[in-house]
Amino acid sequence: MSIITELTRMWLTRSTKRFTFRKEYDEQLPFAECDNLGLYVHIPFCKKVCNFCPYCKVIYSKETCDRYINALIQEIHIVGQQYESRKKVTSLYFGGGTPALAADRIKEIIDAIREYFIITEGIGVELHPDNVAPEILRVLKNAGVTKISIGIQSFQHKFQGILERNNIDTVSMRNALSEVSFETVSMDFIFALPTQTYEDLKMDMETAFSLGANHVAIYPFINFTFTSSKVKPLPKKQKREMLDRITNYCKEKGYVRNSIWTFSSEERAGYSSMTRDNFLGFGCSATTLLKEQFKINTFSIEEYCNRIDAKKLPTSLTIRFTLRQRMVYYLFWTAYSTKVDSRAFEMFFGVKLKKMYGFELRLAKLFGFVTEENGIYSMTLKGAFYYHYYENFYTLAYIDKMWGILRKEAFPEKIEF
Ligand SMILES: C[S@@+](CC[C@H](N)C(=O)[O-])C[C@H]1O[C@@H](n2cnc3c(N)ncnc32)[C@H](O)[C@@H]1O
Ligand code: SF4
């Protein structure tokens, strides 16, 4: 555990109490009381596994995928039935793995969700570039999908080679995207790869917008310890220069920064499953964040199906937050959108943000990390970089450790940070 994350945790939670995840769970999930609730569904199958990817996934087989989706639909029923009327939720996102591999069953899953939830801001699905074909897009659109996100990583052969990804047929991608339209067409890129320059990233972004994307996500490359990738990300100075220059470039072009790593060319475009106050997750490895707890489902497809067959929730670990821990969690994910609204914080916790974190906010202003207007704190370019930098520590200290354990053990006793 890095000393930086440890000290930051103690400082911000005003306590030496660690974040403790235990092998326990509530059969009844108290989501009825949650506003701004999002939904997430995980589909853990890929045609080929990429060596750099940390997500929970296995090689696709129709048989396992079908068994898994049957169980997934049961999990939706088990949770949905706990609340007697249909609950309003903001969005539904399908992530993976490669959810589009199960395109023919997405409607069935959405129908099960709609029995219990009213989705107000649309449905998003992640695609691999190989899935961007008119037949698949049409199936998704007819199922009610309004947003798609395509994992490009890079359009350039050099970086595709570094990541061991195949070349992309941009002509058929453009044709497919012009044939079947979506409110948001997002494309994901990985940056800070060895020898990569700002010009390379800019070119990738421009290609994305020219092919029909109206939203782009650029993720800094993270070298997870449990993956087999040998790729090392660029050093901090070069990463910062790339992020600053690309942000300025997007500003000049009139693109809107919707979060630390995402930019859109049209106002209607948006793709983010992260910036929700609360969310319910279904499927292997999916997480659920509620007012006082966070839980994570088992990473094992076999154990997931076994639990559901026994009519039990497939939760592996739960953390019950102290108030300060929940506040830190809230601020961390809200800051991801580059803005924190003090009124929204007060509505959520019933206490003023300034009262809880007045000193930190003054410090952040003093160091030029944030500016304040009408109670809304907005991150500066510098603030966004340091958030990103700290997030990297967080990912390596918390997510890397947790996912590293959960990939090997379906139900560990306890994980502590
Ligand atoms: C579930 S994948 C996207 C959909 C699809 N499976 C694909 O690969 O095209 C989600 C995204 O996470 C990002 N990602 C995966 N591994 C990463 C890593 N080690 N560092 C940074 N970003 C990563 C990639 O941009 C990827 O598109
Ligand atoms: S990057 Fe996408 S295709 Fe590759 S293993 Fe991860 S989820 Fe699967």
Question: DSSP states of 184-229 as a string?
Answer: EEEEEEEE--TT--HHHHHHHHHHHHHHT-SEEEEEEP---TTS--
Give the model confidence (pLDDT) of 34-77 as tens digits.
Answer: 888 999 999 999 999 999 999 999 999 999 999 999 999 999 99
Cα 53 to middle of ligand 1, angstroms: 6
Identity of the residue numbered 403: W
User: Is the CB–ligand 1 distance for residue 128 below 6 Å?
Assistant: yes
pLDDT of residue 78: 97
Preceding peptide of 122 cis, ω within 30°? no
CA 293, 295, 128: angle at the middle one, nearest 5?
130
Nearest CA-CA partner of 94 in 111, 86, 106: 106
In the block, tokens 């007060």 appear at 346
Inter-residue contact 262 to 271 (CB < 8 Å): yes
Q: Atom 2 (ligand 2): residue with closest C-alpha?
A: 97
Task: Decide: helix, strand or coil at residue 86.
Answer: coil
| Centre of ligand 2 from the C-alpha of residue 9, in Å | 31
The CA distances from residue 190 to 56, 207, 400, 403, in Å, are: 18, 15, 18, 20
Considering only CA atoms, which residue is closest to atom 6 of ligand 2?
53
CA separation for the pair 122, 62 (Å, rounded)? 28
Q: Which ligand is nearest to the CA of 403?
A: 1
What is the model's pLDDT at position 1? 54
Ligand 1 and 383: CB distance under 6 A:
no
- Amino acid sitting at position 154: S
Q: Which atom of ligand 1 is found nearest the CA of 126?
A: 4
Closest CA to 104 of 74, 145, 48: 145
Lowest mean pLDDT segment, chosen from 72-81, 150-159, 231-240: 231-240
Instruction: For residue range 193-206, list pLDDT tens digits in order.
Output: 999 999 999 999 99
Ligand 1 center to residue 152 CA distance, Å? 9
Taken in order 142, 148, 150, 151, the sign of the CA dihedral is negative
Residue-level pLDDT at 297: 98
Closest ligand 2 atom to the C-alpha of 54?
Answer: 6
pLDDT tens across 329-350, in order? Answer: 899 888 888 899 999 999 999 9
CA angle 183/188/193 to nearest 5° reads 165
Cα separation of 144 and 94, whole Å?
12
The answer to whether the CB of 96 is under 6 A from ligand 2 is: yes
Determine what percent of the chain is predicted with pLDDT higher than 90: 79
Out of 65-69, 130-134, 256-260, 275-279, pick the least confident. 275-279
Residues sharing a CB contact under 8 Å with residue 89, sequence separation 6 or more, in sequence order: 37, 38, 39, 117, 118, 119, 120, 280
> Which of these, 95, 208, 221, lies nearest to 147 by C-alpha position?
95
Domain boundary assignment for the chain: 1-17+323-409, 26-264
Whether the domain at 1-17+323-409 and the domain at 26-264 fall into the same CATH topology: no
pLDDT for the residue numbered 274: 66
Distance between alpha carbon 322 and the CA centroid of its chain, in Å? 24
| The pLDDT value given to residue 212 | 97
Q: Is the CB of 163 under 6 A from ligand 1?
A: no
**Would you state the pLDDT for residue 343?**
96
pLDDT confidence of residue 387: 86
Q: Is 153 in the pocket of ligand 2 (CB under 6 A)?
A: no
Neighbour tally for 97: CB within 10 Å: 26
> What is the rounded CA–CA span in Å between residue 345 and residue 360?
15
Q: Indicate the pLDDT class of residue 275, thresholds 50, 70 and 90.
A: low
CATH topology of domain 1-17+323-409: Arc Repressor Mutant, subunit A (1.10.10)
Residue 215 burial (10 A CB sphere; 0-12, 13-18, 19+): buried
Q: How far is CA 108 from CA 60, 64, 133, 143, 247, in A?
A: 19, 17, 21, 8, 40
Residue 324 has pLDDT above 80, yes or no: yes
Instruction: Output the six-digit token pair for 91.
Output: 């969005």
pLDDT in tens, 95-121: 999 999 999 999 999 999 999 999 999
Cβ(258)–Cβ(270) under 8 Å? yes
pLDDT band at 385 (very low <50, low <70, confident <90, very high): confident
- Quick check: helix, strand or coil at residue 45? strand
Mean pLDDT of 373-390: 89
Mention every residue, 6+ apart, whose C-beta is less than 8 A from residue 220: 190, 191, 192, 233, 239, 243, 261, 388, 392
Give 26-264's CATH code, choosing from 3.40.50.2300, 3.10.129.10, 3.20.20.70, 3.30.1280.10.
Answer: 3.20.20.70
Give the Å distance between the CA of 365 and the centre of ligand 2: 39
pLDDT at site 403: 95
